[in-house]
A and B are shown apart, each in its own frame.
Chain A
Amino acid sequence: MTAKVRFYPAPLLRTLVAIACAFLLTRWSSLAVLALPWQPEQSVVAGMLLGFSVFAATVIWVFVAGSLRIACLGILPAGAFLMYFSQQGAL
């Protein structure tokens, strides 16, 4: 039995979504760490170190997900969580 090869018609759209989501999640995650009860200097450095992993993980997730809709559904709760805490961190 041979595996059915699927054709993905919109790699450009997926790429754009991946970059936009990765950028936003990275930004929010670096700000969300400021909400942790640490010294600000520590949170800033920790947020930067975390940021690259968040960026890479988001792009990989968008390409791993079976469809763009599933990818966005996965990102939505993470985005909401990070956005909420990024606003807490900004206070």
Chain B
Amino acid sequence: MIAPLGAGVRQRMAQLHRWTGLLLGWLLFVIFLTGTLSFFRQEITLWMQPERPLVSEMVPSALALEQASGYLQRHASEASHWTVTLPNTRDRLVHLNWRGPHGQGQAYLNPLGGEVIPVRDTRGGDFFYRFHFQLHYLPVLFARYLVGIAAMLMLLALISGVITHKKIFKDFFTFRSGKGQRSWLDAHNGFSVLALPFHLMITYTGLVTLMMLYIPWGLNQAFPEPEQRQRLISDVFAFLPAKPPSGEQTPMVALPTLLAQAEAHWEGAKVGRVQVSNPGDRHARVVMEARSDQPDLLGIRGHPPFLVFDAGSGEPLREKVSAPAYDTYGLLLGLHLGRFADWPTRWLYALLGVAGCGMLASGLILWSVKRRQKPGHSVVGLWLVDRLNLATLAGFPVAVVAFFWLNRLLPAAWPERSQWEIHGLFLAWLAMLIHALIRPLPAGWREQLGLAGALLLGLPVLNMVTTERGFATSLVAGDWLFVGFDLALIILAALMFRFARQKRAS
């Protein structure tokens, strides 16, 4: 007979669950929240650059690339590297980047007329995406290790949470409102069990995204030379190793011709991004990379297929290597990034991400609620956890909304504007931390949640006053992104007010 899991095992697992969850729980909440926002990375960027016109027509890729190529030859012929992001279902403009000895630049082209669209300087949704795995103001490597440790603690907390749970399915259907500690436990169970497969998947695949950094020993052993490691990376990533130009000018094959060749090779899958290194030189190379959002043609992949061409002759030189381990890695990465997702799947990802935030928030609050009821608890420890809970769970959302407010309030010509939006987010978060330290706890929760609600509710009004893309105008124009953004803000504001009112009642 198999013996049931003893109380001792459950107790040890509960202990592991409690401490792995608490240790970096606040950081995990922030990572989860910004990671959830990253599912709408492009949409957030579009909202934060309201100067971009609404383009409802999808311009053929070849035409858009021809315009991009012409613009780059006229304005960035000296550059050593061009990148063209072609129109796709989420963003209809052409995005150009270039870098070279004279610095770097970027531009947005309207694919209909080919004119440049001047936009405000902002990091947009890219800020949340970068922040959720490398934070900000910290050395990149250190931050990535810190995020990796937090993710591993999360994985351990999830596994130990499952083992410690006696009645996992019964508890899922149980919610006892207004019962203090019991209610917080029910909420924590609900958020955790509801999305458990997602939580496990997103945490494990999150670690996988940076696995070359976290588990480098096999790579260093098998490929001791940096050139060998670079070759391995270029098997999987659409990556052009920096090669010095020959200095000999050679005309390039027209980029739309190479685009047609790549799309024919992938049996109709569309090209999403084009990179050119050493344009116009004998050593010029072109990479055509497929779009990730074509799961029916390409499956779920973190790294879409790519083809490298000799730009002078148009000869294909190499393509993405397909092998079981690479494909498994690509699938895991693809599941984490969710770029394959259509709109319903993207919203499902976002809702499950919100459930993850709810799981972390309820777990952190549960820790302090339980501790408060224990006789002889550490007053300083509890005080610290309570304040950090307030400053993070209510304060960070306030800071995120402040980031959006600054996007509308800072003048377009403000020097280092995009950086000041980010500084503003952290200053707002710091203000929330100070507020959390000096205010009594119940009042602190009410005020910060109320402030988050007020800022969220005020944002559609601010958008209407400062841009020509207010709710009514967008509704009439069929601009569903701006309409949806405003509606989401109003729903979130209502939620925040409800939480604030609950805090007042309790």
Whether A45 and B329, one on each chain, are in contact in the complex, defined by CB atoms closer than 8 angstroms, is yes
Complex CA gap A20/B49 in Å reads 49
Quote the shortest CB–CB distance from A74 to chain B (angstroms). 14
Whether A26 and B215, one on each chain, are in contact in the complex, defined by CB atoms closer than 8 angstroms, is yes
Complex CA gap A41/B223 in Å reads 9
Whether B155 and A43, one on each chain, are in contact in the complex, defined by CB atoms closer than 8 angstroms, is no
Whether B329 and A49, one on each chain, are in contact in the complex, defined by CB atoms closer than 8 angstroms, is yes
Whether B222 and A43, one on each chain, are in contact in the complex, defined by CB atoms closer than 8 angstroms, is yes
Chain A CB within 10 A, most for which of B152, B211, B329: B211
Quote the shortest CB–CB distance from A21 to chain B (angstroms). 14
Whether A34 and B221, one on each chain, are in contact in the complex, defined by CB atoms closer than 8 angstroms, is yes
Q: Tell me, yes or no, whether A73 is within 8 Å of chain B by CB.
A: no
- In chain B, positions 179-234 with a C-beta closer than 8 Å to chain A are 204, 207-208, 211-212, 214-215, 217-219, 221-223, 232
Instruction: Decide yes or no: A8 and B215 within 8 Å by CB, A3-B7, A41-B323 being known contacts.
Output: no
Complex CA gap A47/B156 in Å reads 20
Whether B218 and A43, one on each chain, are in contact in the complex, defined by CB atoms closer than 8 angstroms, is yes
Looking at the complex, which of B12-20, B105-113, B469-477 is the stretch in contact with chain A? B12-20
**Residues in B whose Cβ lies below 8 Å from that of A31:** 217-218, 221
Instruction: Decide yes or no: A30 and B215 within 8 Å by CB, A40-B223, A41-B325, A49-B329 being known contacts.
Output: yes
- In chain A, positions 3-60 with a C-beta closer than 8 Å to chain B are 3-6, 8, 11, 26-27, 30-31, 33-34, 38-49, 51-52, 55-56, 59-60
Partner of B215, one of A11, A52, A56, A89: A52
Q: Tell me, yes or no, whether B263 is within 8 Å of chain A by CB.
A: no
- Per-residue interface assignment for chain B, residues 227 to 259, with 1 indicating a CB less than 8 Å from any chain A CB and 0 otherwise: 000001001000000000000000000000000
**Residues in B whose Cβ lies below 8 Å from that of A34:** 218, 221-222
Instruction: Decide yes or no: A49 and B332 within 8 Å by CB, A42-B325, A44-B223, A66-B8 being known contacts.
Output: yes
Q: Which residue of A lies closest to B324 (CB)?
A: A42
Instruction: Decide yes or no: A44 and B332 within 8 Å by CB, A11-B15, A55-B152, A56-B159 being known contacts.
Output: no
Complex CA gap A66/B10 in Å reads 11
Task: Label chain B's interface by main secondary structure.
Answer: helix
Whether B235 and A6, one on each chain, are in contact in the complex, defined by CB atoms closer than 8 angstroms, is no
Q: Tell me, yes or no, whether B354 is within 8 Å of chain A by CB.
A: no
Partner of B13, one of A5, A38, A39, A63: A63
Q: Tell me, yes or no, whether B34 is within 8 Å of chain A by CB.
A: no
Quote the shortest CB–CB distance from B330 to chain A (angstroms). 10
Q: Tell me, yes or no, whether B38 is within 8 Å of chain A by CB.
A: no
**Residues in B whose Cβ lies below 8 Å from that of A51:** 211, 214-215
Whether A60 and B325, one on each chain, are in contact in the complex, defined by CB atoms closer than 8 angstroms, is no
**Residues in A whose Cβ lies below 8 Å from that of B218:** 30-31, 33-34, 43-44, 47-48, 89
- Per-residue interface assignment for chain A, residues 59 to 70, with 1 indicating a CB less than 8 Å from any chain B CB and 0 otherwise: 110011010000
Whether A63 and B16, one on each chain, are in contact in the complex, defined by CB atoms closer than 8 angstroms, is yes
Q: Which residue of A lies closest to B9 (CB)?
A: A64
Q: Which residue of A lies closest to B152 (CB)?
A: A55
Complex CA gap A5/B132 in Å reads 40
**Residues in B whose Cβ lies below 8 Å from that of A27:** 215, 217
**Residues in B whose Cβ lies below 8 Å from that of A5:** 7, 11
Whether B156 and A60, one on each chain, are in contact in the complex, defined by CB atoms closer than 8 angstroms, is yes
Q: Which residue of A lies closest to B229 (CB)?
A: A44
**Residues in A whose Cβ lies below 8 Å from that of B160:** 60, 63
Instruction: Decide yes or no: A40 and B323 within 8 Å by CB, A47-B215, A52-B204, A64-B9 being known contacts.
Output: no
Q: Tell me, yes or no, whether B347 is within 8 Å of chain A by CB.
A: no
Complex CA gap A56/B223 in Å reads 26
Whether A49 and B208, one on each chain, are in contact in the complex, defined by CB atoms closer than 8 angstroms, is yes
**Residues in B whose Cβ lies below 8 Å from that of A6:** 8, 11
Instruction: Decide yes or no: A39 and B211 within 8 Å by CB, A8-B15, A60-B163, A89-B221 being known contacts.
Output: no
Q: Tell me, yes or no, whether B480 is within 8 Å of chain A by CB.
A: no
Complex CA gap A26/B11 in Å reads 26
Whether B326 and A41, one on each chain, are in contact in the complex, defined by CB atoms closer than 8 angstroms, is yes
Chain B CB within 10 A, most for which of A6, A11, A39, A45: A45
Complex CA gap A64/B159 in Å reads 12
Quote the shortest CB–CB distance from B95 to chain A (angstroms). 31
Whether B155 and A56, one on each chain, are in contact in the complex, defined by CB atoms closer than 8 angstroms, is yes
Whether A64 and B13, one on each chain, are in contact in the complex, defined by CB atoms closer than 8 angstroms, is yes
Quote the shortest CB–CB distance from A40 to chain B (angstroms). 4
Complex CA gap A34/B220 in Å reads 11
Whether A49 and B324, one on each chain, are in contact in the complex, defined by CB atoms closer than 8 angstroms, is no
Chain A CB within 10 A, most for which of B11, B12, B19, B163: B12
Whether B222 and A44, one on each chain, are in contact in the complex, defined by CB atoms closer than 8 angstroms, is yes
Quote the shortest CB–CB distance from B427 to chain A (angstroms). 36
Q: Tell me, yes or no, whether B419 is within 8 Å of chain A by CB.
A: no
**Residues in A whose Cβ lies below 8 Å from that of B19:** 11
Complex CA gap A5/B9 in Å reads 11
- In chain B, positions 155-186 with a C-beta closer than 8 Å to chain A are 155-156, 159-160, 163
* Shortest 9 CB-CB contacts between residues of A and residues of B: A45-B325, A47-B218, A51-B215, A48-B211, A3-B7, A30-B218, A42-B325, A40-B222, A48-B215
20 contacts between A and B (CB under 8 A): A31-B217, A31-B218, A34-B221, A41-B222, A41-B325, A44-B223, A44-B232, A45-B325, A45-B329, A49-B211, A49-B332, A51-B215, A52-B155, A52-B204, A59-B16, A63-B12, A63-B16, A63-B160, A64-B163, A89-B218
Taking A43-B325, A49-B328, A52-B204 as known contacts, 12 extra A-B pairs with beta carbons closer than 8 A to each other, sorted by chain A number, are A8-B12, A27-B215, A40-B222, A40-B223, A41-B326, A45-B328, A47-B217, A48-B219, A51-B211, A52-B208, A64-B9, A89-B221
